[in-house]
Amino acid sequence: MTNGVPHGGVLSPTLFLIYINDMKEELSRKVYPALYADDLALISSGEEKKTAKLRLQTTPDGITRWTDEWGLKIKANITAHTILSLSIKDQRAKLQVKNHTLEKNNSP
């Protein structure tokens, strides 16, 4: 038996959203999800970059546990992060999913 829904099926997006509905319980406090089909964006803000980074790093750890439990796979090689800041300094963060450091993408 395999997991998933038919690619391109009319009901596939709805069934997928129902399937992952309880994943939101794995989100850190003050991390907000944005879902479109099978893409997930995690959004967090903070007065300090360290605060937002800590929130964002603990969330993928929880989502990774959830996906392992429910038989889904995260494509870490195509997962990226973007930092939006009012600071003129170059902002960097080292975020990881399954021991894979996420690339920084300024225009995802």
pTM strictly above 0.75: no
Residue 52 CA: distances (Å) to CA of 86, 90, 93: 14, 16, 10
Check residue 27 and give its pLDDT: 80
Nearest to 2, CA basis, from 73, 71, 56: 71
Residue range 84-98, pLDDT digits in tens: 777 777 777 778 888
* DSSP letters for 10-27: SSHHHHHHHHTGGGGGGS
How far does Cα 56 stand from its chain's mean position?
8
Mean pLDDT, residues 1-8 taken together: 65
Q: Which long-range contacts (CB under 8 A, 24 or more apart) does 16-20 make?
A: 19/70, 20/72
Which pLDDT value is given to residue 1?
37
SS3 96: strand
Beta bridge partners of 49: none
pLDDT tens track for 42-78:
888 777 777 877 887 788 788 888 888 888 888 888 8
Confidence of residue 3 (pLDDT cuts 50, 70, 90): low
- Judged by DSSP in three states, 69 sits in helix
The tokens for 65 are 């546990």
